[in-house]
Structure 1
Amino acid sequence: MATRRIADEPAYILHGYDWSESSLILDVFTRHYGRVTLVAKGAKKPTSNFRPVLLPLLPLRLAWGLGGELGRGEIHTLKGAEWVGGHVLPGGDALLAGLYLNELLMRLLAREDTHAQLFDLYAGVVRVLGSGAHGDALEPVLRAFELLLLREVGLLPALDTETATLSALAPEARYALVAEGGLRAAADGERAALAGAQWLALQRALDEGGAAGYTAVLRAVAGAPAATELKAQLRALLQYHCGSPLLRTRQLMMDLQSL
């Protein structure tokens, strides 16, 4: 029986590791098939056509045959890979940021669960990272992606009500987003918290949806006077849902900052 083939699929490499002396196992994020695991036979050989293109954070078009590899039906065989251009591999802080996003997707997305809108958002963020012109926009871009990723996978509570009581937020009061309790009133002196008006603005932006929603969220995050507090709360929530150990990219960033 002929093997079914997927062709010309937009994709990004999230992670790869050695399978044999000459081959790789790849975790890829695709637009129509979600997170897919592929075996790239011979990809490590100097003469392989795969070798120069199977890199993270580059826009690719992939082809693969559906069927079992290594005795597991969810691992498919890579048949073709082409870089579609548009930008080059990010460097410096942008590279670390991109690898951080890849690790989040690896931890939070189930295999072969389609997230076309999230894929388009990720592609847009990677274009910004690869442009080299992100400047001060890097942090807002990451915060916006974190918020939309959490919402996409159903892990972000409503930001216009207290989670436990379902009562509306008071614009002047301060609220904290916590892993096990959702959005709750902040304790006296609690630093990682935002004003109710800021949470309400973020929820309105999220409600817009699509590309307009991302732009609105990015604008809301960039305009937040307490961006550091938002970062701490989102990172804690993401780490909680990603589980142990600590995200490797987060550990690397902390190690670099301590040098």
Structure 2
Amino acid sequence: MATRRTSEEPAFVLHRYDWSESSLILEVFTRHHGRIALVAKGVKKPTSQFRPVLLPLQPLALSWGGDAEVRTLKAAQWQGGHVMPTGDALLSGSYLNELLMRLLARDDPHPGLFDHYTLAVQLLAERSDAQQLVLRAFELLLLRDTGLLPDLSCEGSTLAPLQEGTSYVLGAESGLRVAHGDDVHSLEASQWLLLQTALNDRDPLIASLRACSGCQQSLQPQLRALLHYHSGVRVFRTRQLLLDLQSLVRPKAVPDPVASSGPTSS
């Protein structure tokens, strides 16, 4: 029986692990095969042709072979299109990679989400003023495409339409419910409906980015709660890295970067 081979598949490297003195295990996000694991043999050698190519947040065309859970990388080519994000944008991109690692099962294709991720990475590299909106828009699409985002056009428990002028909060298990006096963060019905409409748009990432522009500060902690709940972690590694970096610069007063509106929040 011939060994299965896949050629020139659009992909991004999400994470890399040491496998031996000269090789790496790569977690990659591909358009037609979802998240898969590849072994890149000899890639750590100075003479490896893969060494300068297998970088995160870069559009690649990968070829591999094998039927096991971990396939063998055969070829890798950089596809170009945009420069690699740096600085704050690099940390934001790393946050997106961590979300994909935690919320996507292996071998579960999400071609639409792959396209949204490709555009999100490009926007992070090119638009430093829109990083927070890009993150919020991608979080919404990731939760939706993995079946973890409730319908934002109705109450979760009753499925009743949202009432104009009423504020609602988003719960991981309950969906939308009417906000109470002790709810710090909430959005009005019109804002939730705008977000749902954006998700149904033909270009949902851009539409969601625009819809988030007027509510991202209140939306951010609600989406973060859903992401923590479904990923099973209390703090994402990239967020902790931001906290640690800021504590080195300003040890006496460290703002929560995830709760802020600055470009480095995740």
Q: TM-score with structure 2 length normalisation?
A: 0.90
Matched, 1:213 2:208: no
| Secondary structure of the corresponding residue to residue 88 of structure 1 | coil
Count the aligned residue pairs.
Answer: 248
Determine the structure 1 residue equivalent to 2:262: none
Q: Counterpart of 1:70?
A: none
**Cα distance, 1:66 vs. partner?**
2.0
How far the C-alpha of 1:253 sits from its partner, in A, is 2.0
Task: Work out the CA distance in 2 between the residues paired with 1:119 and 1:232.
Answer: 24
Match of 1:6 in 2: 6
Residues 167 and 186, structure 2, Cα contact 8 Å, conserved in 1: yes
Matching residue of 2:40: 40
Matched residue SS, 2:48 = coil
SS at match of 2:200: helix
Which segment drifts farther, 47-56 or 176-185?
Answer: 176-185
State the 1:176 CA deviation: 0.6
How far apart in 2 are the matches of 1:151 and 1:86?
Answer: 27
**Equivalent residue letter for 1:215:** I
Pairwise mapping of residues 132-151 of structure 1 onto structure 2 (< 5 A)? 134-151=127-144
Tell me the equivalent position of 2:231: 242
Give the equivalent residue in structure 1 for 2:170: 177
Alpha-carbon distance between aligned partners in 2 of 1:99 and 1:200, rounded to the nearest angstrom: 30
TM-score w.r.t. the length of structure 1 is 0.92
Aligned to 1:76: 71
User: How far did residue 195 of structure 1 move?
Assistant: 0.7
Over 4 Å off, 4+ runs: none
User: Could you tell me how far apart the structure 2 residues matched to 1:18 and 1:78 are?
Assistant: 15
Distance 1:56 1:163 in 2: 37
- Determine if the alignment matches structure 1 residue 63 to structure 2 residue 63: yes
* Gap runs ≥5 in structure 1: 68-72
**Distance verdict in 2 for CA 1:257–1:230, change over 3 Å:** farther
Backbone CA RMSD of aligned residues? 1.3
Identity level (%): 60
| 1:29 matched to 2:29 | yes
Contiguous gaps of at least 5 residues in structure 2: 251-266
